[in-house]
Every structure is written in structure tokens, then in C-alpha cells.
Structure 1
Amino acid sequence: MIIGILQFELIIHDAQSLKDKRRVVRSVKDRLHREHLVSIAEIAAQDNPSVAVLGLACVGADGRRIGQTLDRIVDKLRAVRDAELGAMRRELLHGRADDDHDQSDKTADVDNLTRQMLSELNGETSA
């Protein structure tokens, strides 16, 4: 499992109010979600009408495909009419697809540890 994360800043030059900013941010969020099936949210600078800081994430099995998706998103952000792309940070996280299958091993480990602790509390020694 690969998780692609993009954190970016949009500078909204013509925004005079939070309502103006909200219009631009909502448009960008809706378009990226619709076209790329990513999760996206405003994560900072909510009270500043001229700056929006957003974060988005996408999940997939192929790191190359996730990277290409993030590249296309950045290209679209650079082309936004009502805002300028500012600072940006991109990251790919690699997870293990078999994490759920290891749950039974973790349960067995917890059970063994519990038995050992109980036996020590009862004064039994382990050899």
C-alpha cells in the first residue's frame, strides 16, 4: 500500500473576504476530488482570506501511479486561474499490505505476555 500526501499553499490575490477565499478553495477541492478521487481538506490559515493551506492524500498499490497522480495534481494547481501555487510538500509513505494478517500473531503475543505477567505476580518462576 502506498499513500501519497501533498501539502500545498494557495495564494489568493483577489480575495477580499473569507467568502471569496471559500469560493476558490471549494472550487479547487471539488475539482481535485472529482477528477482524481483524492481526499482533500483545508488544514491551516483558515482565518486568512489571501492564503489557503490544503492537504490531500491518495492511496494505491503502485507508487509510480501515485506519483503520476500527484504530478498531474500539481500541474492543475499551477494552472488555477484565481490562485497562485505557493509552498508545497510531497511525500510517499509505504505501508505493508499484510498488516491485517499479522493481527493473530499480535494477539498471541499479547496472550503470552499476559500469562507471563500473571505467573510472575502469583510468585511462579519461569524456567
Structure 2
Amino acid sequence: MNVGTLCVRFRLPENGSLKGKRKIIKSISSRVGNKFNVSVAEVDDLDRWQAATLGIACVSNGRRHANEMLSKVMDFIEVIRGDAEILDYEIEIITL
């Protein structure tokens, strides 16, 4: 069994409140979760209204499949991100 994780850090330069941040991140999270059937959660920068970190996870029977799926998720996020600027991201595949 392979667990794939994707950690994406965002900067929200046009945002002015935690409520605005929540709207942007919730939109990205729900669209990614619905399209790819992966788990999505905000995992860091919870009290910072101009920054956000999303953690995304999937389980697969193959390392290659998990990596391809998370790469597609990242491509999708780049298209739908709106005003959120992607600072960096990291994909990690763990074999259990």
C-alpha cells in the first residue's frame, strides 16, 4: 500500500481577513476533493490571513499511480487557484 501526500503553501496577497481566507481555501479544498476523491485539510498557517497550507492525501496500490494522481491534483490547483499565489509544494510517497 502506498500513501501519497501533497503539501501546498499559498500566499493570499489580496485577502484582508480570516473569513476571506476561509472562502478561498474552502473553494479550493472542496473542488479538489470532489474531482479527485482525495483527502484535503488546511494543515498550517491557521491564524494567518495572508497564508495557507493545504495537505492532500491519497492511498494507492502503486507508487507511480499515487505520484501521477497528486501531480494531476497540483496541475488542477494551478488552474483554479484564483487570487491564491502558490509559493511551493512537495509530493511525498510513503510505502507501507
The aligned residue for residue 24 of structure 2 is: 24
Question: What TM-score results when the alignment is normalised by the length of structure 1?
Answer: 0.71
Q: Distance in 2 between matches of 1:65 and 1:73?
A: 12
Q: Distance in 1 between matches of 2:7 and 2:47?
A: 18
Aligned-CA RMSD value: 1.0
1:89, distance to aligned residue in structure 2 (A): 1.5
The aligned residue for residue 76 of structure 1 is: 76
1:56, distance to aligned residue in structure 2 (A): 1.1
Q: Which amino acid aligns with 2:2?
A: I
SS of the residue aligned with 2:43? Answer: strand
Instruction: State how many pairs are aligned.
Output: 95
Consecutive unaligned residues of structure 1, counting only runs of 5 or more, are 96-127
**Aligned partners of 2:9 and 2:54 also within 8 Å:** yes
Once the two structures are superposed, residues 91-121 of structure 1 have per-residue CA deviations (whole angstroms, 9 ceiling, x without a partner) of 00011xxxxxxxxxxxxxxxxxxxxxxxxxx
The aligned residue for residue 90 of structure 1 is: 91
1:82, distance to aligned residue in structure 2 (A): 2.1
The aligned residue for residue 41 of structure 1 is: 41
Q: Distance in 2 between matches of 1:93 and 1:6?
A: 11
Q: Distance in 2 between matches of 1:31 and 1:69?
A: 15
Which 4+ residue blocks in structure 1 deviate beyond 3 angstroms?
A: none
Q: Which amino acid aligns with 2:82?
A: R
Higher fraction of strand: 2
Q: Distance in 2 between matches of 1:67 and 1:90?
A: 7
The aligned residue for residue 8 of structure 1 is: 8
Q: Which amino acid aligns with 2:22?
A: R
State which structure, 1 or 2, has the greater radius of gyration over its C-alpha atoms: 1
- Percent sequence identity is 29
Higher fraction of helix: 1
RCO higher in structure (CA 8 A, sep ≥6): 2
